Each structure stands twice: as structure tokens, then as C-alpha cells.
Amino acid sequence: MLFYITLFLYLAATAGYISYLITLKKPISLISTSILIVSFILHAAVITLRYPELGHPPFIGIETLSFLAWAIVGIYLLVEWRYKVYVLGSIVSPIAFILLLLTVIIPEGELHVPSYLRSIWFPLHVGFAFLGNAIFSLACAAGIMYLIQERQVKGHHLGGIYKRLPSLEVLDEINEMCLFIGFPLMTFGIITGFIWSNAVWKTFWNWSPRAIFSIITWLLYATLLAGRLSVGWRGRRAAVLAITGFSIMIATYFVINIIWGGHAFK
């Protein structure tokens, strides 16, 4: 029951944020944020109560989608509080709703947890990685809005959508902040993954698809970070790379875990 209440509230928050995007009425944004905060708290309760039932953290199987949705909402609420960018909720809320809905739609049989996933390094590895992914999802959303807003500015369409979206400066600042916080988390996730791999298989590296695409994504974000720090990459280039990086991450997750039907750890 608590799960379905949370799912419904994410849908209600989605409707609220989209209504705010259309009307720009401040009370609607405050109501939508209040609904999302309640959803976030209830979702945390759902994850906590599921733990003894599952017998493992929500880092295995379809439960990872639920944890990712919860993490994305939590990060967004912090960003909204800091930058007052309520329109981003019109992207984040439906993402959270869809991810949580997929945990019901996608069938998952009885899950056997292999011994190598019971290492203490596994939840650390996945926890850091998913927090990084959640932050990069916000960078992706900000990047999408940046490209839309840039198109409005270049086309001199300074009404309608232009008035509803944050300024290019704010969107680029959000993108930069997400990169500076998300990249270290992703790096910690990869490092703990190496340690976990060595503890289980006595090697720091295995040529699994997950490991390969993790390194590819890390290199992309490392390039973006180096570009920002050394040559001042900003604006459109940073937005495109943020969108590309998150697209690779989410595609990797669904291809490996859903289509292939396995974690492909080794």
C-alpha cells in the first residue's frame, strides 16, 4: 500500500510541476514541491521496509530502479532548494514515476543472490555509483533545458518557453555543480568496484560489458571536467556531453540488466 501511495504521489507531483510550467503560478510550484517531499519520505520508508523482506540492500535486480528514483528525487530537492528551479521538477518527477512504475511492470522471478554479491564492498561500490548517476541525471536535465533555452535565445523567441525556463547561466551552473560532485562519487564507485573485484575474483579488472562501459563513461566525464577546469568548456558543449554521458549510463543499465537479463559482473 505504501508503495502505491508513493507511486501515486510521484504522478501527482508530475502533474503539479507540469501545471506550474504552463501557468508559472508560484502556489502550484510550492504544492508540487510539498508533494514531492512527502513522496521522497514515503519512498525512503518503502526502501527501508523492503530491506528485511529482500534480505539485501536495494542494489540488486529491479530494486535498483527504485533506489535510483529515490536518489534522483533527493538530489533534485536539494538543487531546487539551492537554485529555485521548479521547472526541473517537470522532468525529474516523471522520471521518478516511470522508474518506480517499471519495478512493477518488468517481471522478475525469484532472485538468487550469489555469494560474490554479499561482499561489504558491493553495496559501497553500487551506492557510490548510483548516487553519482542520480546527480548526473540532474546534469542531463539541466543540459536538455540549456539546449532548449539556447535555441530560444538564438532564434530571438523571448516569450513562451523562454520565460518558463531558467537562464542559461543558471542552467550551466547547475551542470557544473553536478559534475564537480558527481564525478568524485563515480570515481569512488569505480575504485570500490576494483577493490570488490579483487576481493572476490583476485583481479582488479574483468572485461565485463558493465566494467567496459563504466570506464568509457568515466573517461567522458573526466574529459568534460578537465575541459571545464583547463580551457573553460561551458554552455552547449558541456550540456551535450552531460546528456551523452547520462544516456550511455542509462542505456548500459537497461541493456545489461533488462535485455540481457543479468548483471554481467564477470
Give helix 168-201 / helix 209-230 axis angle, nearest 10°: 140
Calculate Rg over the CA atoms of the chain. Answer: 19
- pLDDT exceeds cutoff 70 at 261: no
pLDDT score, position 200: 79
Whether residue 13 contacts residue 56, with contact meaning beta carbons closer than 8 Å, is answered with: no
Q: Give the integer Cα–Cα distance in Å for 235 and 224.
A: 12
Domains in the chain: boundaries: 1-108, 120-266
Kindly indicate the confidence band of residue 122, based on its pLDDT and cuts at 50, 70 and 90.
confident
E strand segments, the chain:
none
Q: Give the integer Cα–Cα distance in Å for 12 and 19.
A: 11
Tell me the per-residue pLDDT of 206-241, one tens digit each, with 9 for 90 and over: 777 778 888 888 999 999 899 888 887 888 899 999
For the chain, the average pLDDT equals: 86
pTM: 0.87
In this prediction, what percent of the chain has a pLDDT beyond 90? Answer: 49
Residues in the chain: 266
Q: Average pLDDT, stretch 91-107? A: 89
- DSSP for residue 77: H
Q: Which residue has the higher pLDDT, 95 or 155?
A: 95
45 three-class SS: helix
Whether residue 110 contacts residue 223, with contact meaning beta carbons closer than 8 Å, is answered with: no
Q: Give the integer Cα–Cα distance in Å for 218 and 96.
A: 24
Considering 97-111, 147-161, 229-243, the range whose residues carry the highest mean pLDDT is 229-243
